[in-house]
């Protein structure tokens, strides 16, 4: 038995412990009411100790938000069971700062073994819990933007797809890559780049809100998960809003930054059942969006997957294409619209692939840019264009596209001077075209090179102006001789919308004030040509005058010295109706027929291949990959039918159209729908009704691309 002095010392030690703030004590009676609680607890709660005595122990804490132990036990349960409990994390009732205590208790018994209450202690664990939460947050969230990190997004996608699989619920994935972000980092520094990423994150939150999960995967890559969303019309609208918002200028530390965004979209279960498949296919769509000119979105399709496989083949074949003489130049005339006289040509590369036929630059130049081939191709194009243009009479110029990587190459100027010397082409008959990517090259190098080109008499053109988001100030800062107005801007200027016309007029006016020539590119219709003439455009390029021509055709046409081209094109562009040549299926009753689609619009299509179909006949049009559209025949003439869709198609992001919704593959299989690529003329489907003979006869259709059937 301890002596009185020992008890006195023990009590003093306990008092010191309480006052140190390291811990506190409490006792209750048999009913769970407090008989004693340390003054430090009362002080932390903003009360006097006397106010707490007589209150239930649970009155100190928020028991409804209590963090339970792994056993699932709660404080009321532990007190009611009269059992020892230890290290219960409990949140205190205190306005303002949050307090967390780890509380333990031991039951007390009298001499007869009857329960008389609890004695216990508590320890403040607020700081440890905060540190643990911070550590947990760092593991789950991006420290810069506060968005989910790659690990968390992977978990969320995996768990969502797993939960949705059995019920075939949809989940969409968007992969976002910022355009021209590297240029901001390189020119303005990483602190500005970090601040820019924070603002991008806020803009993404503004678009998505609570409809989905947003994550930053690292660098300038972002990801968005949109559960229960497979409507491609809605997804396209979201993508357009993101692109528009992210592309708005940013103001950071007195610096003005302008970037853009490209987006790839894949939808489960149509585009992949697992997270790996969905991420891979969204990446393929993103790659296609960036390859299409950036600032765009793309949906995944089987065609993209086939293109990716084809791309691997093309990259390997491209390494040998120059040596084997497969690359040639075609020349598209540039015309003075006031006289219709050809004043020059743009040199465009063509690749005669032994397996795939003629390939345009849009197919192989992006491959070359991402490999080590672009400089060699660009050097060859410059030499060949100078050599062939030297055969032309008079002062006709040739315009050659130059890749930014070629401009930045150490041997650029030496190679250019050698090309001019060997061909004996005067410098003032050569024009070099650069797109907006050239602004990623250092300002010093651009100014130095442009100055050297001016000395040689070589003119410099800014290509595709208006397609990106370079400010008009770029035209003032660099000494361009010409500016090419992008095809999309030309279309908008001819659309009759005053805002678009005003933007186009401002480009023309500014270029004129700066002593530059404005060239309208991609002019195809007469209303577009007239709009350009009304604005005073001096040079026009497009199919309304001529497609790109071979060198032999150019030389023959120039034999008389002048080449006059009369404009020849439709009165106006019908942007809503797209000419196509594509095999599709139409379903009527128990049969699916193969037909050829000749044109397509949001509201209907023209198909060919079935004889004498009555007006009013209902079809389901199978556009492939689960895209089924209910339609009705509104016009019928022999083997040609005009169809009206029950619901409108939506923008697919690639200049085409697609359905809002798709039918999953397992339902198509149940119907007996043929697999992709099937060429059967008539297929009997699995239906609940009795089978009978096909109602319509089919025909073998031939067209400008060969037989369709």
Identify the pLDDT of residue 506. 78
Here the tokens at position 47 are 């009360």
Q: Is the model more confident about 56 or about 370? A: 56
C-alpha span between 465 and 144 (Å, rounded) = 34
Determine which of 71-85, 147-161, 541-555 has the lowest per-residue pLDDT on average: 71-85
C-alpha span between 112 and 397 (Å, rounded) = 113
Determine which of 11-20, 51-60, 368-377 has the lowest per-residue pLDDT on average: 11-20
DSSP H helices, 495-560, are 498-513, 526-535, 551-557
The matching CATH number, chosen from 2.40.50.840, 3.20.20.450, 3.60.20.10, 2.60.15.10, for 326-557 is 3.20.20.450
- Given a cut of 80, is residue 90 above it in pLDDT? yes
C-alpha span between 294 and 287 (Å, rounded) = 9
C-alpha span between 335 and 566 (Å, rounded) = 10
Whether residue 609 is preceded by a cis peptide bond, meaning omega within 30 degrees of 0, is: no
- Superfamily of the domain at 4-131: PAS domain (3.30.450.20)
Percent of the chain with pLDDT over 90: 49
Q: Is the model more confident about 622 or about 47? A: 622
Identify the pLDDT of residue 43. 82
Q: Give the best-scoring range by mean pLDDT among 369-373, 441-445, 587-591.
A: 587-591
- Given a cut of 50, is residue 196 above it in pLDDT? yes
Class of domain 578-707: mainly beta
- Given a cut of 60, is residue 74 above it in pLDDT? yes
- Indicate the pLDDT class of residue 66, thresholds 50, 70 and 90: very low
Strands (E), 232-282: 250-252, 255-257, 260-268
**Which residues, 6 or more positions from 348, have their beta carbon under 8 angstroms from its beta carbon?**
329, 330, 331, 332, 360, 361, 401, 548
Task: Give the CA angle between residues 706, 292, 206 to the nearest 5°.
Answer: 135
- Given a cut of 50, is residue 381 above it in pLDDT? yes
332: Cα within 13 Å, side-chain hemisphere: 19
Determine which of 193-202, 252-261, 361-370, 498-507 has the lowest per-residue pLDDT on average: 498-507
C-alpha span between 656 and 171 (Å, rounded) = 23
Region 686-694 average pLDDT = 66
- Indicate the pLDDT class of residue 504, thresholds 50, 70 and 90: confident
Contact call for residues 121 and 26 (beta carbons, < 8 A): yes
What is the domain partition of the chain in residue ranges? 4-131, 141-300, 326-557, 578-707
- Indicate the pLDDT class of residue 509, thresholds 50, 70 and 90: confident
Class of domain 141-300: alpha beta
pLDDT per position as a tens digit, 616-633: 999 999 998 899 999 999
C-alpha span between 705 and 528 (Å, rounded) = 28
Region 511-538 average pLDDT = 89
- Given a cut of 60, is residue 690 above it in pLDDT? no
């Amino acid at each position: 038995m301890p002596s009185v002095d020992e008890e006195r010392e023990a009590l003093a030690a306990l008092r010191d412990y309480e006052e140190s703030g390291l811990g506190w004590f409490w006792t209750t009676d048999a009913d769970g009411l407090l008989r004693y609680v340390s003054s430090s607890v009362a002080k932390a709660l903003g009360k006097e100790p006397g106010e707490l005595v007589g209150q239930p122990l649970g009155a100190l804490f928020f028991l409804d938000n209590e963090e339970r132990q792994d056993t699932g036990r709660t404080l009321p349960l532990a007190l009611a069971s009269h059992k020892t409990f230890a290290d219960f994390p409990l949140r205190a009732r205190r306005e303002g700062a949050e307090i967390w205590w780890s509380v333990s208790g031991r039951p007390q018994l009298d001499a007869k073994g009857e329960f008389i209450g609890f004695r216990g202690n508590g320890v403040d664990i607020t700081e440890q819990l905060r540190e643990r939460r911070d550590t947990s947050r760092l593991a789950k969230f991006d420290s810069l933007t506060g968005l989910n990190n790659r690990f968390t997004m992977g978990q969320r996608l995996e768990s969502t797809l797993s939960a949705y699989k059995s019920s075939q619920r949809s989940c969409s994935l968007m992969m976002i890559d910022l355009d021209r972000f590297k240029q901001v980092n390189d020119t303005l520094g990483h602190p500005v780049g970090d601040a820019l990423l924070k603002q991008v994150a806020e803009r993404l939150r503004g678009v998505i809100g609570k409809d989905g999960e947003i994550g930053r995967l690292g660098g300038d890559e972002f990801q968005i998960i949109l559960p229960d969303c497979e409507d491609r019309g809605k997804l396209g609208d979201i993508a357009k809003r993101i692109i528009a918002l992210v592309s708005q200028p940013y103001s950071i530390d007195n610096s003005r930054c302008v970037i853009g965004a490209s987006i790839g979209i894949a939808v489960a279960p149509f585009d992949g059942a697992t997270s790996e498949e969905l991420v891979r296919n969204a990446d393929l769509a993103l790659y296609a969006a960036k390859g299409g000119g950036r600032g765009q979105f793309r949906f995944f399709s089987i065609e993209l997957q086939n293109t990716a496989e084809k791309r691997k083949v093309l990259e390997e074949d491209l390494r040998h294409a120059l040596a084997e003489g497969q690359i040639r130049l075609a020349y598209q005339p540039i015309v003075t619209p006031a006289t219709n006289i050809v004043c020059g040509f743009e040199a465009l590369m063509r690749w005669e692939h032994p397996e795939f036929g003629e390939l345009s630059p849009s197919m192989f130049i992006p491959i070359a840019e991402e490999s080590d081939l672009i400089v060699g191709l660009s050097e060859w194009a410059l030499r060949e264009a100078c050599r062939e243009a030297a055969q032309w009479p008079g002062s006709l110029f040739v315009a050659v596209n130059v890749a930014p990587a070629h401009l930045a190459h150490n041997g650029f100027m030496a190679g250019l001077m050698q090309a001019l010397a060997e061909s004996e082409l005067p410098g003032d008959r050569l024009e070099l075209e650069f797109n907006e990517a050239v602004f990623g090259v250092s300002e010093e190098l651009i100014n130095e090179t442009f100055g050297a080109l001016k000395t040689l008499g070589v003119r410099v053109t800014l290509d595709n102006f208006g397609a990106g988001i370079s400010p008009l100030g770029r035209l003032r800062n660099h000494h361009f001789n010409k500016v090419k107005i992008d095809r999309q801007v030309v279309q908008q200027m001819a659309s009759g919308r005053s805002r678009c016309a005003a933007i186009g007029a401002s480009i023309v006016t500014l270029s004129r004030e700066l002593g530059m020539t404005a060239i309208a590119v991609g002019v195809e219709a007469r209303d577009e040509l007239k709009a350009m003439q009304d604005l005073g455009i001096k040079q026009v390029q497009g199919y309304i005058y001529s497609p790109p021509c071979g060198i032999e055709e150019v030389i023959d046409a120039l034999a008389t010295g002048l080449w006059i081209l009369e404009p020849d094109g439709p009165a106006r562009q019908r942007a809503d109706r797209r000419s196509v040549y594509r095999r599709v299926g139409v379903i009527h009753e128990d049969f699916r027929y193969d037909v050829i689609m000749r044109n397509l619009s949001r509201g209907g299509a023209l198909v060919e291949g079935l004889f004498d179909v009555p007006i009013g006949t209902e079809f389901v049009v199978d556009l492939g990959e689960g895209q089924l559209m209910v339609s009705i025949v509104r016009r019928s003439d022999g083997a040609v039918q005009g169809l009206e869709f029950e619901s409108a198609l939506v923008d697919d992001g690639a200049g085409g159209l697609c359905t809002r919704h798709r039918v999953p593959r397992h339902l198509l299989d149940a119907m007996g729908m043929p697999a992709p690529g099937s060429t059967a003329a008539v297929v009997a489907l699995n239906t609940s009704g009795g089978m009978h003979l096909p109602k319509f006869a089919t025909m073998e259709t031939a067209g400008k691309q060969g037989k369709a059937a």
